[in-house]
Structure 1
Amino acid sequence: MKRYLLIFSLFFVQPINAQEVAPSPEIWSLEDCINYALENNITVKDAVLNTDLAEVDYDRAKSARLPNLFGSASQTFTSGNSIDPITSDFVSEKINSNNLGINSSITLYQGNQLNNQIEQNKLLMEQSIFQEEVEKNNIALNILETYLRALYSKESITIAENNLEASEKEVLRAKARLDAGTIALSDYTEAQSQAATNKFNVITAKNTYEQYIIDLKQLLELSPTQEIEIQTLNKDLDLINLELNKTAIYYKALQILPEVEVSDLSIAINEKELDIAKGAYKPTLSLNGSVGTGYTSINYLSFSDQYNSNFNQRLGLTLTIPIFNRNQTKSVVKTAALNIEKAQIQKQNTEKVIYKNVETAYQNAVSAQEQLLAAKSSQEAAEQSYRLAQKKYELEDLSTTDLVISQNTYTNAQQNYLQAKYLNILYNQLLQFYQGNDIKL
């Protein structure tokens, strides 16, 4: 009976297993990748944490204006000659005493350092917010470049596979012609060599594509086991008209890019640091107060009576006037002034980098557009030439060498067109980014 049950179970289990199909990889668009990376990339997360830390520092700076409050308690056992801690009398016997107290102090004036520190921490918090935007923009641009490289590699696979298919057919034709004695063995081996080269190119193209997918998955912080595919590009984006003014783009970029705000805030932060440093030249005034009581064993009053009679209050002002601190304040002030100049230079450098990026993107966009038009014409001409060569080869009116040369010329034209196409898209997207527009395909 058990044998029949086993056969019965296998009969039903096997078809089920045969129907199991591996899930197809999820298809990601460029917008999907950018949105996901902005939420999950660890560089962005680190920038968000830096903003949170800056907010904590800002709250702490504001709290520095509040008074502090401390409680204290002590229990003391003394023998021999000593001074009673409560009565201050000189005694030579064992003493059991305790003290309770509450102390508080508040800074009334400190050269306006507290207010300047609060304003500086507020500027630091704002700078962290803009720095977070810088990191997000960098990730978005990295996603764009990697995504387009992957698309380029994906289309290169199609070109390589088409060439391999064509060359394998040519090998069969060459074999038939060799058997018929119409071509030499060298022609046949050349056709075989071309097919092997094309097969190698297919493997290389697939590997390159997988490498870019790995780079993309790392930017997205995806699991190594998660399989993804990228969305094929809309054919309407092959040609992009460029009607932009690079000077206008540059000035627009200066207005919207967070790098400029980070530089401006860096100057303001260092100016506040100078104000804080100069505050050390001024006196500090603080208010102090305390209440307390105590008990001693040499006093014959009861515990509660002593706590009532020894209850005391204290209120005082403390004024600290800086006279000479070995030129420490002078050095700090000078350092702060130099840091302002460095921040101003850094801003100039930031603007130079932005100008270079905009100028480079613009010139490359113009060049890529011209190259795209030339590459398109070259590809069409090379395709016609290759189709004609194939027909001649079929009619035994063309050598294998000439056919291989024609195919390689067509392949190079296809690759040049793909490169120009995606460079045109990349640099136009960069110009859109510098104008504050979304990156999208």
Structure 2
Amino acid sequence: MKQKTFFLVWLFSAATPLFAQEQKTWTLNDCLEYALEKNIQLQQNILTMQETEIDVKKAKAELFPSLSFTTGHNLINRPYQENSNTVSGTEIISSDNKNTYNGNYSLNAQWTLWNGGKRLNNIKQQKTNLKIAELSIAETENMLQEEIAKLFIQILYADESVAINKNTLEVSEATYARGKELFTEGSISKADLAQLEAQISNDKYQVVYAESSLRNYKLQLKQLLELEGTEEMNLALPKVNEEQVVRLLPAQEDVYQTALSTRPEIQSSKYSIENAKLNIASAKSGYMPTISLSASTSSTTNSASTNNWAQQMKYGWNNMIGINLSIPIFDNRQNKSNLQKARIQYSNSQLELTNKQKELYSTIQSLWLDALNAQQQYLAANDKLKSCTTSFDMVNEQFTLGMKNTVELLTEKNNLLSAQQQQVQAKYMAILNRTLLNFYAGQKIEL
């Protein structure tokens, strides 16, 4: 029984590394969710938003009075004075002691009753800043999703390019094998056979280059996700059908109008204009008087007094309440400068919104045109691929029969490879631009 138990424990411990080494397969949605959770820039934006939340609480707290306690303790030495008279609270103390100690205790309150509405405007500004900080997070999320989608679709394109080049290499190897038979029969020359062999080397290079591009795109995606380790990402690559490529595009104007109401960069610019208006109001409040209320209660003690500490605190206790009015008269142009700068900032924020709207329209227009062109190129490339495939099959068959030479065969083969690459490029350009268009229209990124 012990031997059986030991065997099971050993079997489990030996199998554990195999399970631990199982690599995760990443879908596009996995990449998006991971980036939104782990991205450093996004986390920094969240911390900035949390700081802004603190600023809102601080601005609200400025509406309430402040309260502070102060105390001071002094040791006084009069080396050449035989006696001294000291006022402590309500009594005059005479002392011939050269060293005396006194203490002061005070509780102070200060409350700004009115300062031209500056505090209320500050609260509104901080709330607007909080909304801008939240929108900054949304902007970063959008940027991450767009970059991940671009890389993921580039990986799809590179993966299919690898498959095309491998298939081309297989055709070249089969052609070379047939070429050796024809050379043995005397149907082609040694130079023709050398060309076929050189074509294999060239196709091998193209396979290596395509695989290198695929690894590079995967590395870029891994770096964007900030994944550690040297292992290559294992991705679940979906199959894209023709219906997805040629599907009808949404109307430009519809996408633009939706984006205007949903894109965070546009909403952030609108809040910046609102903030600039509040800044003008705050600058105007600098011309207004400030009314504040102050109050205090205090007492003093002195070591030279014949009264004890409690009696001194009692008899020295005094209370004060007062109201203060401050009217700005001449401030070295400070308020005027602040108001002028606030108005300039308001104009600048309006121009910034207009610029963001133009950039958004230009982006959507470019995506739409690129998607439409890619769809048309894809359809044309399909026709070209069909004719090139037919032509190559015919020439390859004639070459096998010794009716076509090597140059004619390789020309048709290169034409076929070019048509395949053009079709794949147009295919994924259409998918990419359509995916981004849908994202600007408020849809989720998906393939």
TM-score (structure 1 length as normaliser): 0.91
4+ long deviations beyond 4 Å: 19-24, 87-92
**One-letter identity of the residue aligned with 1:258:** P
Residue 96 of structure 1 corresponds to 101
Is residue 2:281 matched to residue 1:271?
no
Instruction: Report how many residues are paired.
Output: 428
Partner of 1:160: 165
Amino acid at match of 1:79: N
Q: CA deviation at 1:311?
A: 1.6
Listed as ranges, the gaps of 5+ residues in structure 2 are: 1-6
Residue in structure 1 matched with residue 430 of structure 2 by the alignment: 424
Distance 1:24 1:417 in 2: 35
Query: Aligned to 1:183, which of 161, 181, 188?
Result: 188
Q: What's 1:105 paired with?
A: 110
Distance 1:414 1:23, change over 3 A: farther
Q: Is 2:277–2:346's contact at 8 Å kept on the other side of the alignment?
A: yes
How far apart are 1:173 and its partner, in Å? 2.5
Q: Is the 8 A contact 2:284 2:339 kept in 1?
A: yes
The answer to which of 182-191 and 419-428 deviates more is 182-191
Find the partner of 2:199 among 153, 170, 194.
Answer: 194
* Deviation by residue 1:22-54 (Cα, 9 ceiling, x = unmatched): 945432222221122111122222222221121
Q: Which amino acid aligns with 2:212?
A: N
Q: Tell me the CA shift for residue 243 of structure 1.
A: 4.5
CA distance in structure 2 between the aligned counterparts of 1:168 and 1:22, rounded to whole angstroms: 40
**C-alpha RMSD over aligned residues:** 2.3
Tell me the amino acid that sits aligned with residue 292 of structure 1. Answer: S
Pair 1:343-2:341 in alignment: no
Q: Would the alpha carbon gap of residues 256 and 142 (structure 1) be closer, same or farther in structure 2, given more than 3 Å must change?
A: same
| Contact 1:294-1:310 within 8 A present in 2 as well | yes
2:88 maps to 86
Cα distance in 1 for partners of 2:42, 2:159 equals 28
Question: 51, 60, 65: which one pairs with 2:49?
Answer: 51
Q: Deviations over 1:294-325 (max 9, x none)?
A: 21022111122111111222211121111111
Question: Aligned partners of 2:196 and 2:93: how far apart in 1?
Answer: 116
Counterpart position of 2:3:
none
Identify if the C-alpha distance between structure 1 residues 77 and 235 changes in structure 2 by more than 3 Å, giving closer, same or farther.
Answer: closer
What is the match of residue 5 of structure 1?
none
Check if 1:216 corresponds to 2:221.
yes
- 1:53 maps to amino acid: E
Deviates more, 1:213-222 or 1:148-157: 213-222
Q: Report the more deviating stretch, 347-356 or 382-391.
A: 382-391
Instruction: Give 1:21 deviation, angstroms.
Output: 9.1
- Alignment partner of 2:246: what SS? coil
What's the offset of the Cα at 1:174? Answer: 2.4
* Paired amino acid for 2:293: L
Moved more, 358-367 or 84-93: 84-93
Report the CA distance shift for 1:334/1:83 in structure 2 as closer, same or farther (over 3 A): farther
Residue 315 of structure 2 corresponds to: 309
* Shift of residue 94, structure 1, vs aligned partner: 2.4
Do structure 1's residue 324 and structure 2's residue 330 form an aligned pair?
yes
Give the Cα–Cα distance (whole angstroms) in 2 for the partners of residues 25 and 240 of structure 1: 35
Structure 1 unpaired stretches of 5+: 1-8
**Does structure 1 conserve the Cα–Cα contact (< 8 Å) formed by 2:139 and 2:264?**
yes
Match of 2:26 in 1: 28
After alignment, is 386-395 or 147-156 more displaced? 386-395
- Give the structure 1 partner of residue 64 of structure 2: 66
CA contact (8 A) 1:253 1:435 kept: yes
Q: What CA distance in whole angstroms lies between the structure 1 residues aligned with 2:93 and 2:196?
A: 116
In structure 1, the partner of 2:246 is 240
